[in-house]
Amino acid sequence: MHNMTKMDMIWCATASLIHPAMGCVRTVPLDAILAKVASLYGDDLKITPVMVTHHLVSWQDRQADQSHPDRGGSRNRYLFRTVDGRTPAPNGDFRLSKSIDHQYDGWDKNGPASPRHDVLNEDARGFVKWFRDQYFHCKDD
C-alpha cells in the first residue's frame, strides 16, 4: 500500500460504490462506505464514522484546533452529504464531491476533491481518472 491515508481509503471505497457511471446524484449510506473500507483494506483498520460524516464532507466546516486554527481537521472536500443528490443535508447519504458543490464549501474547506493519483494502490488509480474525466463536472442525471 503506497502512502494512502484513511481519508484516501474512504474516498476509494465511496468511488467503488458509485463507479462506473452510476449517476451524478447517486448516493450511498454510511454503513455501506464503512463496510467497503473494511472489505478493501481489512477489518482491523479503524475508521471512525465522524471521518465520513464530518471531516471529509465538503460543506462541513473544517474542525480546526480552536487555539491553533492552522492545525486539525481536514481541508479535503472528498464527500458531499445530501438527501436529493444536489443540496447539503446533515441526515443524508454520501456521494463524491463535484465542481458544482463548491458553492456550499464549509469554512476553510479548500482542499482537493480526490486523492492524488500517485498515492493510491495501482487498482484504485482508475477511480481518480474516471472521477476527473467523467464524474467531477457532471451536473445531473
Q: Residue 92: what pLDDT?
A: 95
Around 31, how many Cα atoms within 13 Å sit in the side-chain half-sphere? 0
What confidence score (pLDDT) does residue 96 get? 95
The residue segments making up the domain with residue 110 are: 6-60+72-135
The sign of the dihedral angle between the CA atoms of 19, 32, 60, 8 is negative
Residues in contact with 6: Cβ distance below 8 Å, sequence separation at least 6, in sequence order: 45, 47, 51
Domain presence at residue 93: yes
Residue 140 lies in a domain: no
Residue 125 has pLDDT above 60, yes or no: yes
Answer whether residue 22 is part of any domain: yes
pTM, two decimals, is 0.90
33: helix, coil or strand? Answer: helix
Torsion sign across C-alpha atoms 78, 32, 61, 121: negative
Q: What is the pLDDT of residue 57?
A: 95
The pLDDT of residue 139 is above 60? yes
Percent of the chain with pLDDT over 90: 60
Tell whether 141 is covered by a domain.
Answer: no
Q: Decide if 82 is inside a domain.
A: yes
Structural domains of the chain, count: 1
Residue 53 lies in a domain: yes
pLDDT of residue 72: 75
pLDDT tens string 87-96:
999 999 999 9
